[in-house]
Amino acid sequence: MSILSTQQTELLAFNTELPKNLTKHIEEKPEQIIANAKNNHYFEMTKVQSSSVVIRQMQKEAADYDVKNASIYDNSEKATYLVIFKNKGNKLIARYDRNGRVLSTMERYKNVALPTNLKVAITKKYPEWVFGQNGCNFSYNRSKGLQKNIKLQLKQGKSRKTLKIND
């Protein structure tokens, strides 16, 4: 775990790698993954947005993270804590208040399972095309809610199409 600090002591950051055997801990379907109650708002708001076990596992890790156990945690300061979670090219950056609540996140995922309803809609609109690479970006803010952007590539022989889906 590496600690980074900005010029002000209000922003402290940690870098934690997710366990390599994370999938052994949670092998359920994404809708069966449950986070701790403190960050239930964040976890429930992102629930409908993803059918990917990888995404739900990283979001659970962020929801369950206890900033109070960090070596530089100081309850006497009105600090926020920035924690960076990385796993196989995917990244989730979460900002916590001093009580450990998720205030905001910036999440970037590559080549993950897309929601079934989205795959069905795209398959109907582009029946002769196959799915290529994709990227999902989520931005959560406790007061503003969740925004998502998905960029995916479709292939048909040598032809390529890039679709951008914003919410």
pLDDT at 46: 75
In the three-class reduction of DSSP (H, G, I as helix; E, B as strand; rest coil), residue 102 is classed as: strand
Given a contact cutoff of 8 angstroms between Cβ atoms, the answer to whether 38 and 67 are in contact is no
Q: For the chain, count helices (H), then strands (E).
A: 4, 8
**In the prediction, which pLDDT does 15 show?**
37
> Is pTM beyond 0.85 here?
no
Q: Which residue has the higher pLDDT, 8 or 126?
A: 126
Q: What is the pLDDT of residue 71?
A: 84
Mean pLDDT of the chain: 78
Residue-level pLDDT at 8: 26
Q: How far apart are CA 64 and CA 34, in angstroms?
A: 9
SS3 30: helix
Average pLDDT over residues 93-112: 93
CA 28 to the chain's CA centroid: 18
pLDDT reported for residue 75: 80
Average pLDDT over residues 65-89: 87
Asked whether 14 and 81 are in contact (CB, 8 A), the reply is yes
Structural contact between residues 74 and 91, judged by C-beta atoms closer than 8 angstroms: no
Which pLDDT does position 127 carry in this prediction?
Answer: 94
Q: How far apart are CA 105 and CA 62, in angstroms?
A: 9
Please report the pLDDT score of residue 106 as a whole number: 97
Mean pLDDT of 51-72: 87
Instruction: Please report the pLDDT score of residue 45 as a whole number.
Output: 77
Q: What is the mean pLDDT of residues 21-47?
A: 56
Three-state DSSP at 40 gives: helix
